[in-house]
Chains A and B, each alone.
Chain A
C-alpha cells in the first residue's frame, strides 16, 4: 500500500514541489502542538482517577491535623495471615474467575474456532449467519440476557449442580463478539480455502491440513481472541451477581463495603494486568504485520 501511495504521489506531484510550501499547507495530520494539547488534556482526565486509586491505596490511617500519612500497610495486610478470613472470599473469587476463564477459553477454542474454520471451508454462505449470531450479544445487553439466564440456570444447576464454573457457558456467550473478531480478521487475511486445497492436493489428510496448515496460520488471531476472552471474563460482573456466584468482580463489590482499600488495590492490579495483556496483543499484531511485509 505504501508503495502504491508513493507512486501516485510521484505522478501527481513532481518531487521538487512536494518539498515546497504548497503540500505542507494541506498536511492532514495535526501539528505536534495540537496533538500534544489534545492528548495532554484527555490524558490528564484519564490519569487523575488512576492517581486517585494509587493515593487511596497508599493511605495509612486517618489524616492528623489535615496531614495524611502514606505507606504500604494496606498492601501488606492483604497477605497477613491474620486477615486470611476477611480476604478469603476475594481469593476464592479470583480462583473461581480463573477457572471460569479456563473453561470459557476452552469453549472459544473447542466450539467457536472449529465452527468458524468449518464455515469458512465448507459453508461460506453461512459466514454472515455466524457473524450475526456472534454479534447478537452486543445488541442484547447482559442485563437483559440475565433475565433469561436465571430460568435457564435453574435447569443447569439441576444437571451440573450450582458451581461457579457452570457460569462459563453464559460468559462464553457474552464473550462471543470479542472472541469472534480477531479470528475472523485473521481468517479473512489468510486464504484458508486455497491453503487447504493446496495441501490436500499435495496429499495431506484433513487432520494435517488443520493442525499443520490452518491453525498455525491462525495462531495470531486465536491468541488475541484468547487474551481478550480472559480480559472480558475477569471483568464480568453482571451475570455473576445475578447467578449469585462468587467471582473476582462480585467479591470486589462485596469487600468494598468492609475494606475499600483492598478493593482499590486489587482493582489497580487487575487494570494493570489486563493493560499489559493487551499491550502483548498489540505487540503480536504489529509483529505479525512486520513479518508479512518482509515475507
Chain B
C-alpha cells in the first residue's frame, strides 16, 4: 500500500536523472547526526576499548591483557558478575510476580500509571539517590539499624556483616540496593510480554478442558520464557554496568566499574599499562555476549507479541 502511494509521488517529482541527483544531495541531511555520533559515540567507544591494546610508549601490544591474570582484578570481575547474576535473578523473579499481579488492571488506571512511573524513576533515575535512601534505612544511622540497636541487638548484621563493617558498604549490601532498581527494570521490560498474552489462548485452553494451572504451565510460561530470559539478561547487563550507586556507597574497588575509576584517577600498580582500557575491554566483551543472547531471545519472544 505504501509503495503504491509512493510511486506516483516520485513520478511527479521529475525524471530519473533529477531524482538520483536529489538523492545524492539529500544525503547531506544525515551528516549532522552522523558527525555527532562519530565524535561522541564511535570515537570514545573505540578509544575506550582500543586503549587497552597500547603500552605507555604508544606501541600496539597484547601484553596489557595480562592484567586479567592479576588476582585482585579477577576478584573484582568475579564480584561484578556475582552481584549482577544474583540481583538479576531475584529482580527478574520478583519483577515477573509484580507483572503477574498487575495483569488485568487497566493500563491507564491509577495503579498502573503509578507503578509505571515509580518503576521508571527507580530504574532510570535513582543511581546516587537510591544509595542515600539505603544509607538512611540500613546504614550505620539508618532507622532500621537504630531500631535493632534500640531493641538490644547491638551486633546485628547491619552494623557488622561478616566481621567486615556495616553491611551497606560491602558487595552484599550493594546487592540489596541494586534490587531497588532491578525489580523496577524487570517490571518495565517484562510487562509488555505479559500483556501480549492473548485472552483467546486462555479461552482455547478452556474449551480443551484446561484450568488456570495448566494454562500457566503449558501455555503462559512457555510463551513467556524467551521474554523472561531476555529481561533477565537485560537486568544482568544493567547491574553489571551500573556505577553511580556503587560509587556513592563504596570507595574501595570491589567491583570492576569502581576499579576502572580507581585506575583512571590514580594508576595503581598491576604491572601493565592502560589497565582502565583493559578493564573497559573486558566489560564490553561481557556486554556484547549478553546483547547477542538478548537479541536472539528477543527474536523468539517477539513471535508471540504481534
Give A contacts to B, CB under 8 Å.
5, 8-9, 12-13, 22-23, 25-30, 34-35, 38-39, 42, 46, 48-53, 55-57, 63, 66, 68, 107, 111-112, 114-115, 118-119, 122-123, 126, 133, 136-152, 169-170, 172-173, 176, 178, 193-194, 197, 200-201, 228, 231-232, 234-238, 241-242, 249, 252-253, 256, 260, 263-264, 267, 270-271, 274-275, 278-279, 281-283, 285-286, 289-290
Contacts and interface: CB of A to CB of B under 8 A. Distances in A.
15 contacts: A8-B203, A12-B203, A56-B141, A63-B146, A119-B30, A139-B287, A144-B48, A144-B241, A147-B260, A148-B280, A231-B121, A253-B128, A271-B121, A279-B113, A286-B108
B6 interface: yes
A178 B124 contact: yes
A162 B135 CA distance: 33
A52 B200 contact: no
B205 A141 contact: no
A282 B117 contact: yes
Given A30-B100, A147-B276, A282-B116, A173 B121 contact: no
Contacts, number: 294
Contacts of B212: 25-28
A55 B243 contact: no
B113 A282 contact: yes
Given A34-B101, A118-B30, A13 B203 contact: yes
A111 B108 CA distance: 32
Given A22-B206, A235-B127, A274-B121, A115 B33 contact: yes
A172 B128 contact: no
B133 A26 contact: no
Interface residues of B, number: 97
B172 interface: no
Interface stretch (B35-43, B55-63, B64-72, B158-166): B35-43
B74 interface: no
Given A29-B103, A38-B101, A197-B5, A237 B143 contact: no
